[in-house]
């Protein structure tokens, strides 16, 4: 059983309207905490996940939930992705540092995983009220507009995001040292916004190191259904059950190989 995409979209919009947007640029000091150095959580993150968790479970009886904030308190929550049951993956506010700083670059991300495969995805930009939805085999959509990745390009004409913070130090230094061979590099500090840019053709590529499922499951499917190509840095397929090894996303396989060669040179 697959959930109704419209019902899920409605739940996300309602949670954003009730719990996220009223606090945007209005957070008080006590509304922001640090889970670890540089990793913030706000009352909006916590309350949005608490709101969505039972509502999403009710849409698919017997389904489980892996939420970012629940996993922060109990890392064993991630083990639920290893089984065959249907699992909702929730990032209540992706780009929390931006949200806390009053920068309008954050997103709500939800994916539906069945037996370890991402089969549906939702990414909401609450500020613009843009809802991107993807279902495996049915394409990626922003309202009535079908999303398409950018046309393939050579690395020196590609624009994209390099998220290097959590990577192997030696590999990060290597990639950073070769970034001048790429057309242009940016970072929104929000994977959800970067995935929206990828799926809508506003960026050619993104490279990530840490692959926590709430950051990437929804975006990976959205990009795939928009026609994109993605592999982990060792050229294996992405799965929400694997949380390291890096991920490179490009418009097609040829551009993936070319960019991988420029940034990594065949090494892992």
pLDDT tens sequence across 163-208: 877 667 888 888 989 999 999 999 999 999 999 999 999 999 999 9
Task: Please give the pLDDT value at position 268.
Answer: 45
Q: Is residue 41 predicted with pLDDT exceeding 80?
A: yes
Same domain flag for 122 and 68: yes
Same domain flag for 211 and 140: no
Max alpha carbon distance in the chain (Å)?
50
Tokens of 131: 């809802």
Same domain flag for 53 and 183: no
β-pair partners for 208: 247
**Cβ contact 52:92 at 8 Å:** yes
Task: Please give the pLDDT value at position 172.
Answer: 85
Same domain flag for 69 and 116: yes
Same domain flag for 99 and 163: no
Per-residue DSSP letter, 17 = I
**Cβ contact 211:245 at 8 Å:** yes
Domain-embedded: residue 268? no
Same domain flag for 211 and 166: yes
pLDDT tens sequence across 120-135: 999 999 999 999 999 9
List, in order, residues 6 or more apart from 222 with CB less than 8 Å away: 121, 123, 132, 134, 140, 147, 195, 196, 198, 199
Q: Give CA separation, 226 vs 33, 100, 198, 251, in Å.
A: 36, 30, 9, 9
Which of residues 146, 170, 185 is at a domain's end?
A: 146
Query: 101: domain CATH number?
Result: 3.30.540.10
Q: Is residue 8 predicted with pLDDT exceeding 80?
A: yes
Same domain flag for 217 and 134: no
Q: How many domains does the chain have?
A: 2
Same domain flag for 11 and 140: yes
Dist. CA 52–CA 109, nearest whole Å:
11
**Cβ contact 149:223 at 8 Å:** yes
Query: 180: domain CATH number?
Result: 3.40.190.80
23-29: average pLDDT: 95
**Cβ contact 218:240 at 8 Å:** no
- pLDDT bracket for residue 72 (50, 70, 90): very high
**Cβ contact 88:66 at 8 Å:** yes
Tokens of 14: 């309602």
Same domain flag for 142 and 20: yes
- pLDDT bracket for residue 263 (50, 70, 90): very high
Q: What is the pTM for the complete model shown?
A: 0.96
Tokens of 116: 């370890």
Which candidate, 35, 67, 71, places its Cα nearest to that of 52?
67
- 212 lies in which domain range? 155-263
- pLDDT bracket for residue 35 (50, 70, 90): confident
What length is written for the chain? 268
Task: Please give the pLDDT value at position 266.
Answer: 52
Task: Please give the pLDDT value at position 167.
Answer: 65
pLDDT tens sequence across 46-61: 999 999 999 999 999 9
């Amino acid at each position: 059983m697959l959930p109704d995409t419209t019902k899920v979209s409605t739940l996300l919009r309602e949670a954003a309207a009730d719990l996220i947007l009223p606090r945007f640029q209005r957070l008080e000091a006590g509304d922001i905490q640090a889970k670890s150095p540089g990793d913030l959580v706000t009352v909006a993150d916590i309350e949005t996940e608490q709101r969505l968790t039972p509502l999403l479970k009710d849409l698919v009886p017997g389904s489980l939930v892996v939420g970012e904030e629940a996993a922060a308190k109990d890392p064993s929550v991630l083990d639920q992705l290893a089984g065959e049951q249907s699992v909702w993956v929730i990032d209540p506010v992706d780009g929390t540092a931006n949200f806390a700083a009053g920068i309008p670059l954050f997103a709500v991300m939800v994916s539906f995983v069945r037996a370890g495969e991402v089969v549906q995805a939702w990414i909401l930009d609450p500020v613009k009220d843009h809802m991107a939805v993807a279902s495996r085999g049915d394409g990626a959509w922003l309202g009535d507009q079908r999303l398409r990745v950018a046309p393939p390009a050579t690395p020196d004409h590609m624009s994209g995001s390099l998220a290097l913070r959590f990577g192997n130090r030696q590999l990060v230094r290597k990639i950073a040292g070769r970034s001048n061979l790429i057309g242009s590099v940016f970072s929104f500090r929000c994977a959800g916004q970067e995935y929206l840019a990828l799926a809508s053709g506003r960026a050619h590529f993104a490279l990530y190191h840490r692959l926590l499922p709430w950051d990437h499951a929804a975006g990976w499917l959205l990009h795939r259904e928009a026609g994109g190509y993605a592999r982990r840095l060792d050229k294996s397929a992405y799965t929400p059950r694997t949380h390291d090894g890096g991920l490179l996303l490009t418009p097609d396989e040829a551009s993936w190989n070319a960019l991988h060669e420029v940034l990594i040179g065949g090494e892992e």
